[in-house]
């Protein structure tokens, strides 16, 4: 898992699925941390137009072309609804925050993309950066 995390963190384009403007939510804290560390980050949420001065994309299916790591902050039911709309094989890695997955979700995502990171928190993983 450590190698997958290092490889994901080396990639400088990230998407936060479940970004939030609420400073108490992990969707805000993660977006802010990645942005402060210099990552090109795209917030994804149907609820906002802008967060931290960054334009918000309403859905993963609306992302501009590019190679991204996706950090998932939504619950597994919302994530599953994205399976039907988005090709998860195109992401460089899929980082599942605590509380966003179960083993069925992990298995299904690994069938699509082997670069699945779970049972880790990006805030912890970037704490030393």
- Domain extent listing, the chain: 2-125
Helix/strand/coil for 18: coil
At residue 9, the pLDDT reads: 97
Return the sign of the alpha-carbon dihedral for residues 49, 29, 102, 71: positive
At residue 109, the pLDDT reads: 96
Distance CA 17, CA 25 (A): 13
CB burial of 3-33 (b: ≥16 within 10 Å; e: otherwise) equals ebbeebbeeeebbbbbbbbeeeebbbbbbbb
At residue 18, the pLDDT reads: 97
At residue 102, the pLDDT reads: 95
Query: The pTM is what?
Result: 0.95
At residue 59, the pLDDT reads: 94
pLDDT in tens, the chain (129 residues): 899 999 999 999 999 999 999 999 999 999 999 999 999 999 999 999 999 999 999 999 999 999 999 999 999 999 999 988 999 999 999 999 999 999 999 999 999 999 999 999 999 999 987
At residue 84, the pLDDT reads: 83
CATH fold of 2-125, please? Rossmann fold (3.40.50)
At residue 75, the pLDDT reads: 94
């Amino acid at each position: 898992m450590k190698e997958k995390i290092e490889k994901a963190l080396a990639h400088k384009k990230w998407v936060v699925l479940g970004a939030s403007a609420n400073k108490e939510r992990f969707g805000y804290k993660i977006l802010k941390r990645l942005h402060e560390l210099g990552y090109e980050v795209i917030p994804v949420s149907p609820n906002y137009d802008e967060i931290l001065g960054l334009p918000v994309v309403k859905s993963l299916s609306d992302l501009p072309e590019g190679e991204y790591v996706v950090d998932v902050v939504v619950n597994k039911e919302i994530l599953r609804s994205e399976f039907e709309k988005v090709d998860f094989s195109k992401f460089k890695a899929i980082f599942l925050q605590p509380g966003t997955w179960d083993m069925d979700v992990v298995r299904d995502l690994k069938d699509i993309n082997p670069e699945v990171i779970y049972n880790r928190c990006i805030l912890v993983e970037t704490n030393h950066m």
